[in-house]
Amino acid sequence: MTIPSLADYKTPRPWLTLGIFLVVVIAVGGLIGTQSVPGSWYAGLDKPPFNPPNWIFGPVWFTLYAMIAVAGWRIWMINPNSTTMKIWFGQMALNWAWSPIWFIGQMLWPAFAVIVCILVLIIAFIVSARKLDHIAAWLFVPYLAWVSFATLLNLSIAILN
């Protein structure tokens, strides 16, 4: 496990890999987002006063997905078989699962269980990534903040309904 040097980035391979990470994370996230949009069910739920407007979620998630992709790419470039990378894949799978569980399945409490697991994996990624790449770890801090807020929001809506 070695940290890539500047010479490692002079070939097309790492940049192609970055492109793949960005396209897959953003495209899959976007596809899931378009297939599990808040509808009349969500509109009819009781929500806490700190519930943000629906329009904020798209730009926030696009930005977060780009940061998540870059963080994953950075760790991949160091060691694609690392525990940190396995944590990254785990949180990504759960992240993509949350919206269908919440919006399509309309399962508030199972979605809460999933988001708590995402939160745990985000923290685990940050702790693990710090040992390999500080930038990758820091790229997950806004994600941690947003998912912490989303966890509170998920819990609040589940309790209210």
Domain segments of the chain: what residues? 11-160
pLDDT value at 88 more than 60: yes
pLDDT in tens, 107-148: 999 999 999 999 999 999 999 999 999 999 999 999 999 999
Convert the pLDDT of each residue in 9-52 to its tens digit.
676 688 899 999 999 999 999 999 888 878 889 999 999 999 99
Answer whether 0.85 is exceeded by the pTM. yes
Q: Is 76:17 a contact under the CB 8 Å cutoff?
A: yes
Q: Are 25 and 92 in contact (CB under 8 A)?
A: yes
The CATH number of 11-160 is 1.20.1260
